Structure 1
Amino acid sequence: MEKLKQRIMEQSSVLSNDVLRMDAIINQQVDPALTMEMGHEFANRYAEDGITKVVTVESSGIPAAFTTAYVLGVPLVFARRKKTLIADPDVYCERVPSFTKGIVTDIMISKPFLSKEDRILFIDDIIANGDAARGLIRIIERSGATLAGIGIVVEKAFQAGGKLLREQGIRVESLVQIASLDNGEITFK
């Protein structure tokens, strides 16, 4: 998506050779029109895959996942990172490290929201090492649902996450791939 690349160049900042701040685009402020374009793009790429649910991890993946689910006409399910007082106690749970947050958290989905009849499209904002993705994939597998594919808004292709998932035979579609952040410069693949 050329428009997304342009916005990344204009409104993001390189914090290190591994970290790109995109708060003004997808991680804190959200442009609804751009996000709708992302959703349409993912929906077009997976239009023939019989998707029954879109799944993401809270919180930054929710806008792109929501618009994708809306365009596909299917429910959105998101994995929570925090247990609430009213949370369903019957959940699928996986412990995953977060590259950008530097912490380990649990991600949880209530069991009634995933079934063996579901064909899942997993949408996320960024993939670096793929830890959150692997945790969510384990949840999907344990539920008996089928993972049809993964849509990533921004793939940091210089980190192993997307490559490792593709090597496992998982279809991964990225809207933008970043080849490098070396020397404070964003280089697209």
Structure 2
Amino acid sequence: MTLTAGVDEVGRGALFGPVVAAAVIIQPDKERWLQDQGVADSKALTPRKREKLVPIIHASVIDAQVAWVSVFEIDRINILQASLRAMAKAIARLSPCPDKCLVDGNQLIPGLGIAQETVVKGDQHVLAIAAASIIAKVWRDQLIIRLSHRYPGYDLASNKGYGSPKHLAGLRTLGPTRYHRRSFKSCQPLSLIK
């Protein structure tokens, strides 16, 4: 049996927090059931539905793994390379190692060492990528909500680190935290002066 993993990342466009990826190998006999449960692109689901699906996905996979790349690393190597690195790390944690990986987007993962294929809008077309997008999104959202208690004033629990008006207002008033991506223009001092 050929083992195929799906991998996706979340948080690429955020101003705050790590970029997070998940990799999933679905049990072949569970695919139809997961579709019937509503597994789809995480962006098309409510937060409550995503959270409800996570244990259902975990019960239907051979393995699912999460990995992230820190803000420091994002600023050092750029967000595209950080996203690819997070996906590579998630895939490397899978056991057993998949024979092939379906990667959301149009960028191959450098140095992966296994067969891979990119799928544009993969979270809409490939069930394993959709499942990975849900796991990564819920994991990252929970992290940002925890961090929001430590860093009030940016409305992080609502915006999940993305550049909402309240988040940008917080940046202008309070300045960036250690979890803000300093390489992103919105987090740089000159762009904070309005």
Same fold (TM over 0.5): no
Q: TM-score, normalised by structure 2?
A: 0.25
Which one has a larger percent helix, Structure 1 or Structure 2? Answer: 2
Q: Find the structure with the greater CA-based Rg.
A: 2
Which one has a larger percent strand, Structure 1 or Structure 2? Answer: 1
